[in-house]
């Protein structure tokens, strides 16, 4: 009796696997683009010497810089009551002045001008 159920289950599993490979093989032949490696918006099989947008690179760098700035500013809030007021104020003002100086330098170099010239 046990042999009968094992044989029947193996037969059903084999039939399902055969049907699965038949149906997916038809789809994979038609949709080969889905199986091509695709990373970071670049096609793996295309030329690696594609022109890269410098404007995109600058936007990404500015985003990373501002992201790190936020991560450094956030701990200033909970440490306000625990730290010495003079040292906390001096540290906060120094940090914010460095950030504002960086923003003025980027503004002067026209990094924030997104329009094509």
Write down the pTM of the prediction: 0.46
pLDDT tens digits, 57-99: 777 888 888 888 888 888 888 888 888 889 989 988 998 898 8
Q: Check whether 5 has a pLDDT greater than 80.
A: yes
Closest CA to 80 of 93, 71, 89: 89
Q: Quick one: 61 and 39 in the same domain? A: no
Residues 6+ apart with CB under 8 A from 105: none
Q: Check whether 47 has a pLDDT greater than 70.
A: no
Q: Quick one: 93 and 58 in the same domain? A: yes
Q: Quick one: 58 and 103 in the same domain? A: yes
Which percentage of the chain shows pLDDT scores above 90? Answer: 13
Q: How many domains does the chain have?
A: 2
Q: Which residue has the higher pLDDT, 116 or 64?
A: 64
In a domain, 20, yes or no: yes
- At residue 70, the pLDDT reads 85
d(CA 18, CA 60): 48
Closest CA to 20 of 30, 28, 8: 28
61, 69 in Cβ contact below 8 A? Answer: no
Q: Which residue has the higher pLDDT, 38 or 61?
A: 61
- At residue 13, the pLDDT reads 92
Residue carrying the six token digits 């793996």: 44
Angle at the Cα of 60 from the Cα atoms of 54 and 63, rounded to 5 degrees = 140
d(CA 10, CA 12): 5
Q: Which residue has the higher pLDDT, 117 or 75?
A: 75
Range of the domain at 100: 54-108
Q: Quick one: 65 and 24 in the same domain? A: no
pLDDT tens digits, 7-32: 999 999 999 988 887 776 655 555 56
């Amino acid at each position: 009796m046990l042999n009968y159920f094992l044989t029947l289950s193996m037969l059903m599993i084999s039939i399902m696997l055969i049907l699965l490979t038949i149906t997916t093989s038809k789809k994979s032949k038609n949709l080969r683009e889905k199986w091509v490696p695709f990373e970071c918006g670049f096609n793996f099989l295309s030329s690696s010497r594609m022109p890269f947008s410098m404007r995109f690179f600058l936007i990404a760098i500015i985003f990373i810089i501002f992201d790190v700035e936020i991560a450094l500013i956030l701990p200033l809030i909970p440490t306000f009551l625990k730290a010495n007021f003079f040292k906390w104020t001096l540290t906060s003002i120094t940090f914010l002045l460095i950030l504002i100086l960086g923003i003025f330098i980027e503004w002067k170099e026209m990094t924030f001008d997104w329009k094509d010239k």
